[in-house]
Amino acid sequence: AIVEQQGAPWGLGRISNRQKGSTTYRYDDSAGNGACVYVLDTGIETTHPEFEGRATWLKSFIDGQNNDGHGHGTHCAGTVGSKTYGVAKKAKLLAVKVLDNAGSGSYAGVIAGMEFVSQDYKTRGCPNGAIASMSLGGPFSASVNQAAAAMVSSGVFLSVAAGNDGADAARYSPASEPSACTVGATTSTDARSSFSNFGKLVDIFAPGSAILSTWINGGTRSISGTSMATPHVAGLAAYLNALQGVVSPAALCKKIQDTAIKNALTGVPASTVNFLAYNGA
């Protein structure tokens, strides 16, 4: 059954309506139930009431840091699946900390986190599939792309940020990994966010400017970035798997592209897909 959330954040309204400007989030009440979404980030404040007990701390790859002391990961997790700000309001949220409390990390830590998820999901109990949301990136790295590709071939759908330099995503990792679903950012007026990377390796755009979501210490905050677009797509992946049945990561990214609203966005270069994420509700 279709449910309507009134007064939703603009991003949720956008991904569930063909026209811009709605603050009603329309979604099927399956809501990502039975899907696991791994958030590889600064961590998740799992006790935040918005997560309703669906968030679990799994592992930290940062020595001596076993919580989200930053906020970025909690914000991204909130867009995936919090009660008020989330796309997939019944999904399991799983914290894998690969970024420190200053918001930075090493490629070695990121790779270790990806390898962990590739193994963990097999015994985690995720009948509607495993999804990873990675709102992080850096300069092109063959080893990071290789780890991302291995994760996808193990069966994990991977949503990654295109990057925030207003440049070609081919120069960044894991954004440039073809088998990852690479996400650019948009504004509430259907423009490409000025900071959003672009290019042939971007698969989909989603709301990324002025996104309201959960923050640490039980709070909320509005921030911008392709980091904010990425969890919209991870949540959508969980949602579609729960609603329509689990498909392979490649088929799921293609489904998200096929379902997308076409040619609605301004400021998208000709060589970049003009696809805006849409849930089909």
Q: List pLDDT tens digits, range 53-77.
A: 999 999 999 999 999 999 999 999 9
What mean pLDDT do residues 8-17 have? 99
**pLDDT at residue 42 in the model:** 99
Structural domain span for residue 179: 33-276
User: In this structure, what are the phi and psi dihedrals at residue 161, rounded to the nearest 5 degrees?
Assistant: -75, 140
Q: List pLDDT tens digits, range 94-111.
A: 999 999 999 999 999 999
Percent of the chain with pLDDT over 90: 100
**pLDDT at residue 139 in the model:** 99
- Asked if residue 5 belongs to a domain, the reply is no
Average pLDDT, the chain: 99
- pLDDT bracket for residue 135 (50, 70, 90): very high
Distance, in Å, from the CA atom of 140 to the CA atom of 157, rounded to the nearest integer, reads 21
- Asked if residue 2 belongs to a domain, the reply is no
What mean pLDDT do residues 247-260 have? 99
CATH code, 100: 3.40.50.200
The gap from C-alpha 60 to its chain's centroid, in whole angstroms, comes to 19
H or E element that contains 109:
helix 107-120
At 47 the three-state DSSP class reads coil
- Asked if residue 21 belongs to a domain, the reply is no
Q: Is 49 exposed, middle or buried (CB count within 10 Å of its CB: 0-12, 13-18, 19+)?
A: exposed
- Asked if residue 27 belongs to a domain, the reply is no
**pLDDT at residue 55 in the model:** 99
- Fill in the amino acid letter for 27: Y
Question: Strand runs (DSSP E) across 11-81, as ranges?
Answer: 25-28, 36-41, 55-60
Q: Is 18 exposed, middle or buried (CB count within 10 Å of its CB: 0-12, 13-18, 19+)?
A: exposed
- Asked if residue 140 belongs to a domain, the reply is yes
Distance, in Å, from the CA atom of 138 to the CA atom of 71, rounded to the nearest integer, reads 20
- Asked if residue 17 belongs to a domain, the reply is no
Domain count, the chain: 1
- Asked if residue 1 belongs to a domain, the reply is no
- pLDDT bracket for residue 262 (50, 70, 90): very high
Distance, in Å, from the CA atom of 228 to the CA atom of 80, rounded to the nearest integer, reads 10
The residues carrying an active-site annotation are 41, 72, 227
Read off the pTM. 0.99
Beta strands 204-207; 181-186: pairing state: parallel
- Asked if residue 26 belongs to a domain, the reply is no
- The two three-digit tokens of residue 235, written as one number: 């949540």
The gap from C-alpha 170 to its chain's centroid, in whole angstroms, comes to 19
What mean pLDDT do residues 219-243 have? 99
8 A C-beta contact, residue 36 and residue 126 = yes
**pLDDT at residue 59 in the model:** 99
**pLDDT at residue 21 in the model:** 98
Q: List pLDDT tens digits, range 138-184.
A: 999 999 999 999 999 999 999 999 999 999 999 999 999 999 999 99
- pLDDT bracket for residue 48 (50, 70, 90): very high
At 207 the three-state DSSP class reads strand
**pLDDT at residue 119 in the model:** 98
Angle (nearest 5°) at CA 135 between 130 and 140: 105
Name which of 123, 144, 113 is nearest 38 in CA terms. Answer: 113
Name which of 166, 148, 170 is nearest 253 in CA terms. Answer: 148
Name which of 162, 149, 161, 174 is nearest 79 in CA terms. Answer: 161
- The two three-digit tokens of residue 280, written as one number: 């089909």
Distance, in Å, from the CA atom of 120 to the CA atom of 215, rounded to the nearest integer, reads 26
Which residue pairs from 7-12 have beta carbons closer than 8 angstroms and sit at least 24 positions apart in sequence? Answer: 8/84, 9/85, 9/211, 9/212, 9/213, 10/188, 10/207, 10/210, 11/79, 11/206, 11/207, 11/208, 11/211, 11/228, 11/232, 12/85, 12/86, 12/87
What mean pLDDT do residues 264-275 have? 98
